[in-house]
């Protein structure tokens, strides 16, 4: 039996953004660990289909259509979880959206949606669940899903980078606060790289989009399709590392570690982003 099976069997997990991609991988793998599930998503049809699939295999699962950007909706999610199971052991803040384009061309409403869902949704989850987790005498867990994009900012997806960097700060602040309270709440940040999902297809720009944006989107989707691990394998690695008590949950270290050292070197050497080796600040590439 794996460490995760020993640790999480019988526990209750709440997963936001559960109906597809990484979220559905969390749900399916949690079910194999013997966990009881509360699944939240805005996509009612997909959520219902996943719930039916899991129930057919004997899993105890509650589905709650939830807008994580709405504090009252997340409060209602928490109430349903406690009404159904009497307790919650783990919260996985996972719901998020991808927005692509030049940062100054992305409409204000799309920026606002990314901030409200990708950051506000996590804050709402913490506000609704952590006070109840603090009341428990047993160990509980909060997992916030950031991204490799929370360590390495990217062009043409600034809202995603901003919110995933924000997730990193939010999670570390929460971890410090739990230590200050001497709480038995284990806080972890999850940093996936490429996972097979439809996240980039869902964010595919429409007609008339500059070719560099459409091409970048296609490149990222192809990378996910060809190099990404499955959502279920991603979830297996996450739950195993959570069971080991890790704060930094990095399911694909070989991908992230290779990029972290050059970024660290860039910061420590005060090298401008995109600057060529040996190029002086303010100097044009290849010029004087």
Between helix 21-32 and helix 44-56 the angle, nearest 10°, is 20
Q: Is 180 exposed, middle or buried (0-12, 13-18, 19+ CB in 10 A)?
A: exposed
Q: Is 264 exposed, middle or buried (0-12, 13-18, 19+ CB in 10 A)?
A: exposed
For residue 154, what is the DSSP state?
Answer: -
- Asked about 160 being catalytic, the answer comes back as yes
- As given in the structure block, the two tokens for residue 195 are 């996972």
Residue among 143, 133, 125, 145 at smallest CA distance from 184: 133
CB contact at 8 A, 224 and 200 = yes
Task: State the CB neighbour count (10 A cutoff) for residue 56.
Answer: 8
Lateral strand order in the sheet of 248-249 = 61-65, 36-41, 12-16, 90-93, 140-145, 185-190, 248-249
Pick the catalytic residue: 82, 102, 122, 160?
160
CB contact at 8 A, 229 and 253 = no
Tell me the catalytic residues. Answer: 160
């Amino acid at each position: 039996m794996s460490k995760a099976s020993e640790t999480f069997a019988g526990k209750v997990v709440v997963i936001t953004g559960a109906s597809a991609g990484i979220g559905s991988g969390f749900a399916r793998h949690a079910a194999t660990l013997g966990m009881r599930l509360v699944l939240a998503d805005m996509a009612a049809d997909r959520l219902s289909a996943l719930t039916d699939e899991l129930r057919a295999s004997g899993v105890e699962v509650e589905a709650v259509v939830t807008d994580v950007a709405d504090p009252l909706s997340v409060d209602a999610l928490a109430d349903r979880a406690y009404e159904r199971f009497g307790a919650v052991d783990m919260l996985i803040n996972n719901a998020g959206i991808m927005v692509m384009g030049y940062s100054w061309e992305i409409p204000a409403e799309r920026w606002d949606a990314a901030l409200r869902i990708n950051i506000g949704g996590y804050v709402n989850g913490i506000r609704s669940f952590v006070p109840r987790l603090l009341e428990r005498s047993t160990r509980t867990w909060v997992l916030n899903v950031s991204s490799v994009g929370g360590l390495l900012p990217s062009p043409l997806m600034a809202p995603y980078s901003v919110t995933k960097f924000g997730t990193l700060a939010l999670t570390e602040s929460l971890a410090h606060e739990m230590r200050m309270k001497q709480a038995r709440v284990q806080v972890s940040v999850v940093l996936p790289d490429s996972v097979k999902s439809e996240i980039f297809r869902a964010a595919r720009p429409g007609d008339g989009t500059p070719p560099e944006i459409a091409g970048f989107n296609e490149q990222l989707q192809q990378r996910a399709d060809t190099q990404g691990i499955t959502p279920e394998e991603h979830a297996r690695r996450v739950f195993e590392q959570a069971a080991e008590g890790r704060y930094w949950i990095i399911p694909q270290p070989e991908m992230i570690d290779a990029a972290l050292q050059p970024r660290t070197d860039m910061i420590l050497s005060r090298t401008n982003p995109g600057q060529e080796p040996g190029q002086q600040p303010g100097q044009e590439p290849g010029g004087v």
